[in-house]
């Protein structure tokens, strides 16, 4: 288990196993910063982009699904941070 997955599990953001395997991410040559829970959507998006010479109107569905996944992960992090802040505020009183 990588450090990021263990930290996510510790704070309650982990979903268990990552949807894309490390080998698949490595074969797709994803940068380390993009190897997250949405990597399974980024791999086909990058493949589509490469095959269509990055034409912006070609890979709309793949891009939308990847951006939605990123947004949902962001909302989970914000909700968890709000929960942590509320618990800290309750403990300080």
**What is the per-residue pLDDT across 18-33, written as a single tens digit (0 to 9) for each?**
589 999 999 999 999 9
Question: What is the domain extent for residue 17?
Answer: 1-92
Cα angle vertex 59, ends 27, 35, to 5°?
35
The reported pTM is 0.78
Query: What is the structure's pLDDT at 32?
Result: 96
Q: Write the pLDDT tens digit of every residue in 9-20.
A: 655 555 544 589
Report how many domains make up the chain: 1
Q: Write the pLDDT tens digit of every residue in 75-88.
A: 999 999 999 999 99
Asked whether the beta carbons of 62 and 41 are under 8 A apart, the reply is yes
Give the CA radius of gyration of the chain: 17
The stretches of the chain forming alpha helices (DSSP H) are 3-11, 22-27, 39-51, 60-92
Cα angle vertex 81, ends 69, 83, to 5°?
115
């Amino acid at each position: 288990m990588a450090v990021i997955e263990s930290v996510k599990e510790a704070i309650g953001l982990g979903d268990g196993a990552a949807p894309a395997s490390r080998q698949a991410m490595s074969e797709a040559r994803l940068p380390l910063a993009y190897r997250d829970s949405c990597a399974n959507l980024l791999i086909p998006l990058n493949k589509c982009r490469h095959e269509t010479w990055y034409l912006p109107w070609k890979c709309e569905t793949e891009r939308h699904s990847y951006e939605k996944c990123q947004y949902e992960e962001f909302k989970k992090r914000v909700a968890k941070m709000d929960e942590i802040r509320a618990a800290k505020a309750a403990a300080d009183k």
